[in-house]
A = this chain, B = another copy of it.
Amino acid sequence: MIKFGKLSAIGLSLVVLSGVATAQMKPEDAIATRQAGYKFMAWNMGRIKMNVEGQYNKDEVTQAANVIQAIANSSMGKLYLPGTDKGKGFHETGVKPELFSDKEGVGKVAKEFNVAANEMARVAATGDAAAVKEQFSKLGKSCKGCHEKFRKEEH
């Protein structure tokens, strides 16, 4: 039904479409996919930041917050497959080995991020710029909570 071209960086991602469950993804594809999720969220964090610091546009903030919410709710933790503690997706993974052993710690930061992202989308929909600014700060802290514990310093 869907035709693919030669294998390439995009082609790799489309291999998934041929019917590979997340648990069976190649390590480099799982790493690239989670890097993609963070990269796209970072763009949308930046957009919210621009709005709360400059001219406020409710539509842009809502779009951005909805992206972050949907990615946060996507169970992307499944992309931290065994064997993906090292290796290269789009670039070398910055994950610390602790992410694969400290289940309780991971669960805590993941939940904090999840709650903050859902609240961000809820607040964005109200159009209340001051509340958005406050929630954006909380959301940023929840990102940082994971980065500090589970991401290598150089990333």
Contact of A40 among B8, B33, B153 (CB under 8 A): B33
Are B60 and A66 in contact, with the CB atoms below 8 A?
A: no
Question: Given A63-B73, A154-B5, are A10 and B40 neighbors across the interface (CB < 8 Å)?
Answer: no
Q: A10-B155, A45-B17 are in contact. Are A1 and B137 (CB under 8 A)?
A: yes
Residue contact A17 to B1, C-beta cutoff 8 Å = no
A55-80 interface with B by 8 A CB criterion: 60, 63-64, 66-67, 69-71, 73-75, 79
Label chain A's interface by main secondary structure: helix
Nearest residue (CB) in B for A3 is B144
Complex CA–CA separation, A32 to B3 (angstroms)? 24
Residues of chain B lying within 8 A (CB to CB) of residue A144:
2-3
- A49 near B5 with CB under 8 A, answer no
For the complex, is A39 an interface residue (Cβ under 8 Å from B)? yes
Q: Is the CB of B33 within 8 A of A43?
A: yes
Report whether A6 and B40 are in contact in the complex, using a CB–CB cutoff of 8 Å: no
Write the chain B residue with the least CB distance to A40: B36
Q: Which A11-57 residues have C-beta < 8 A from chain B?
A: 11, 13-14, 16-17, 19-22, 32-33, 35-40, 42-47, 49-50, 53
Q: A103 contacts the other chain (Cβ, under 8 Å)?
A: no
Give every chain B residue within 8 A of A36 (Cβ-Cβ): 35-37, 39-40, 43, 90
**In chain B, what residue has the closest Cβ to A152?**
B5
A154 B38 Cβ-Cβ under 8 A: no
Interface pairs A-B: 5 shortest CB-CB: A16-B46, A36-B39, A70-B70, A9-B91, A13-B42
